[in-house]
Amino acid sequence: MLNISPNKLNDKVDLSRFEAARRVFHRRHYKHFNRFLLAFAGIGVVVLFLPWTQNISGEGYLTTLRPDQRPQTVQSPIPGRIEKWYVREGDLVQAGDTILFMSEVKNEYFDPRLIERTGQQIQAKNMAVSSYQEKGRALEAQVGALATERRLKLEQARNKLLQARLKVESDSLDLEAARTQITIAERQYERTSTLQEEGLKAVTDVEEKRMKLQESRAKLISQQNKLLASRNEVLNAEMEIGRVEAEYTDKISKARSDLFTARSAQFDSEAQVTKLENEYANYERRSELYYVRAPQTGYVNKALRAGIGETFKEGDQLVSIMPSEYDMAVETFVDPIDLPLVHLGEKVRIQFDGWPAIIFSGWPNVSYGTYGGEVVAIETFISPNGKYRILLAPDPEDHSWPKDLRVGSGANTIALLEDVPIWFELWRKLNGFPPNYYNPVEGGKTASK
């Protein structure tokens, strides 16, 4: 009631005549309550000095220790259309077992005899390569024959040149002899003419010497003509050598050009054969991919593509498989402020979802509360959730984990650190300070710094 009047009701009304008022309005309860508060404050002070174990808590889920043991999806590297399923969800498949059969959806692979026709193309190209090889050998033989013929022709031309030079030398000697003879004939004619003038020789002798002089002059002119003809033959022989070299060089060059053309065609055919063999191998491999097989032994969890005739692209997920054998691990996340306190090989306590920390003796393998784990990997890059990922493996020195655990279920982790008073831990929490820093040492103990 609002105190808006100076008239107090409790002064005018006597409440002591009521039994409820007599039981409430007495002073003994204040004494007991003060004692309770005093005892509670003393207990609180004592509790503040009790030891408290600092810890790093985290939340995560069950996974596998090795990446190849985790649930995976089977994809097809090529597009196709589902034709037949060989398994159903929940089946155990061995590595290499056929999961489904698919057909082709690209028009360039519709030909049912594609591999056979590609093999025929390879055979034809191999025959073309053999033909070019034979043509190359024939052209090499032709080049060799032309080189031999050129050598013989050059030897023949050189012999003619030598003969022409020797003939020039012989004609030069004959010319000198003719000149000598004409000199002698001129002297004899002059001497005979002088003697005839003196009456010692007859006119017939003079005429005879004049005839010999004319013959010597004619012979000289003839020898000069022969010498010029011989020199022309030398020039012709030298020109013949050049002509032979030019002719056979042209023939050999043309034959070598044809040879290089044949070899170029041969190499091009060999490249086409290699390309066709590559396509042939790809077609064979593609035909094997029509059967989608299990990559490892495991259980078919879920068919991500269903029905018959459904098409899919390359890389699309077709079916999910969980390996039948795996090593369990826990993937947990810790705050960045706690990351420096986590080290490889440290022990961590784990509480699994569905396995309560309270001991139930009636449940098999769940009478241990929490289970031991060991840090085996620490992620060096922050996760999308703003925390760092820690991987925990079963502790070999602790109780084995329950056999009924399944990948993907939740888990809570607690890593125990140093023992401190409760008042220190409260002060640390209120100020937002990290736990005490420490470094692990040998023997499983920790040393503070």
Same domain, 434 and 354: yes
How confident is the model at residue 97, as a pLDDT? Answer: 92
Better-predicted residue by pLDDT, 351 or 5:
351
Same domain, 189 and 275: yes
How confident is the model at residue 415, as a pLDDT? Answer: 87
Q: Among the listed ranges 16-30, 404-418, 422-436, which one has the minimum average pLDDT value? A: 16-30
Same domain, 267 and 378: no
Nearest to 142 by CA among 261, 255, 228: 255
Q: Do residues 209 and 195 lie in contact, with contact meaning Cβ atoms separated by under 8 Å? A: no
Question: Where do we find the tokens 């005892």?
Answer: 39
Same domain, 250 and 173: yes
Same domain, 349 and 316: no
Annotate 128-180 with DSSP letters as a single string.
HHHHHHHHHHHHHHHHHHHHHHHHHHHHHHHHHHHHHHHHHHHHHHHHHHHHH
- 9 lies in some domain: no
Same domain, 257 and 123: yes
The token pair at 61 is 């889920």
Same domain, 122 and 270: yes
Provide the residue range defining the domain that includes 181.
Answer: 114-288
Cα(285)–Cα(314) distance, integer angstroms = 15
- 4 lies in some domain: no
Same domain, 197 and 302: no
User: Is the pTM for the entire model greater than 0.75?
Assistant: no
Strand partners, 311: 81
Tell me the pLDDT band of 443, cut-offs 50, 70 and 90.
Answer: very low
Same domain, 99 and 207: no
Nearest to 106 by CA among 316, 290, 292: 290
CATH of the domain at 172: 1.10.287.620
How confident is the model at residue 272, as a pLDDT? Answer: 92
How confident is the model at residue 5, as a pLDDT? Answer: 65
Summarize pLDDT for 232-249 with one digit per residue, the tens.
888 888 888 888 888 888
Overall number of domains in the chain: 3
Better-predicted residue by pLDDT, 248 or 369:
248
Per-residue pLDDT averaged across 413-433, rounded?
A: 86
Strand partners, 81: 103, 311
Q: Does residue 257 have a pLDDT over 80?
A: yes
